[in-house]
Amino acid sequence: MIQAGTRSPNTYSSQITHAAIFSVGALLFAIFAFSSSFREPDFEIDAKSGAPRTIEFLEFPVRRRFVQKVYSMVTLQLCLTSMIVVLMMRTKQRLDNNLARICGISSLVAIFLLAFMSHVYPLNGILFVFFTCATGITVGNVCVMYQERQGANMVLRAFMMTMVIFISLTMFTMFSTTDFVFLGPFLFTGLMILIMECLCTGFYGGRWTPVWFGALVFSAYIIYDTNQIVRRYHPRDWLRASLDLYLDVINLFLEILKIMAKEKTD
């Protein structure tokens, strides 16, 4: 007879192991794809290509290598972030408030410098890795907090849901015949609302928007940024494109965590 206090075989440790195996596999794939995308230099986009429509970008070698490079870098970033988060969750280490603020400010400074030094080698690579690590520590701190309050399984479910949404929206945008550039002004307005809400909450408390508003905004940002990568970004802007997608995924993950935490407490 099974006692009430026993746990099922699918324990937290086994789930973390599966997540680690997935991260390692994705990391190896990203390294292979990233290295192969550098076999030929990126010159100007093919003159006849213009703005390729959806999956037709595969017909143009320069654009194809650019997309391959961007998604390889995003995969590398997500793998590094996942490893940092898993390490912090296994050790249950949280940063104190001062260190958390320093880490957040460091991320903002790094991405600000990258905006002006995206083509300055090797400083851009150093800032790129530093930003990813600082963001991973910040996200890991948030995940440990949710782990203490609602359990680690909620964090793992949020991660899987984020990956499903990201992959689904990416495939939808690449195969769609619609140019989603018109979403830009609406998404900028939504982002400003979220920023103002975040700032004002620190002083006055409370929320202005529904709990799902942030997830909707960053899901739409995945569509918009994927559209820009496929149709408009110059091949030399692969670092900027990678950062855009990475931030979309990270923010979507954090917003899904908020939704799940809200539903669990209600």
Separation between Cα atoms, residue 215 and residue 100, nearest integer Å: 23
**Rg of the chain (C-alpha set):** 20
Q: Write out pLDDT tens, residues 162-210.
A: 999 999 999 998 888 888 888 989 999 999 988 888 877 766 666 677 7
**Would the pTM count as exceeding 0.85?**
no
Which positions of the chain have pLDDT values less than 50?
1-11, 33-52
If DSSP states are collapsed to H, E and C, what string results for 130-152? HHHHHHHHHHHHHHHHHHHHHCH
DSSP secondary structure of 164-212: HHHHHHHHHHHH----GGGGHHHHHHHHHHHHHHHHHHHHH-S-SS-TT
> Which residue in this structure is represented by tokens 């994705």?
26
